[in-house]
Amino acid sequence: MSTYKERGVMFPGDIVPRSNLELLKTFDIRDDDIMLITYPKTGTWWLHQVIKQILAEQGVKDEKYLGNIPNLIEFTLPVIGPLAEVVKTAPSPRVLATHVPVEFLPDGLLGSKAKDLPAEVKKLCSFLEKPLSDEEVQTVVAATQFDSMKNTLGEKGQVFTRKGVIGDWKNYFSDDQSRAYDEQYRERLANTGLEFQFQ
pLDDT exceeds 90 at position 68: no
**Active-site hit among 99, 104, 121, 149:** 99
Q: What is the pTM of this model?
A: 0.62
Q: CB within 8 A of 159, min separation 6: which ones?
A: none
Average pLDDT over residues 76-88: 94
Average pLDDT over residues 77-106: 91
Provide the pLDDT confidence category of residue 112 given band limits of 50, 70 and 90. Answer: very low
User: Domain extents for the chain?
Assistant: 3-105+112-163
Instruction: Please report which confidence band the pLDDT of residue 113 belongs to, taking 50, 70 and 90 as the band edges.
Output: very low
Task: Indicate if 99 belongs to the active site.
Answer: yes
* Mean pLDDT value across residues 75-80: 92
Q: Is the pLDDT of residue 83 over 80?
A: yes
Interval 166-187 mean pLDDT: 83
Q: Render 17-83 in DSSP notation, one character per residue.
A: -HHHHHHHHT----TT-EEEE--TTSSHHHHHHHHHHHHHHTT---TTTS-SS-EETT-EETTTEEH
Assign domain 3-105+112-163 one CATH number from 3.40.50.300, 3.30.360.10, 3.10.129.10, 3.40.190.10. Answer: 3.40.50.300
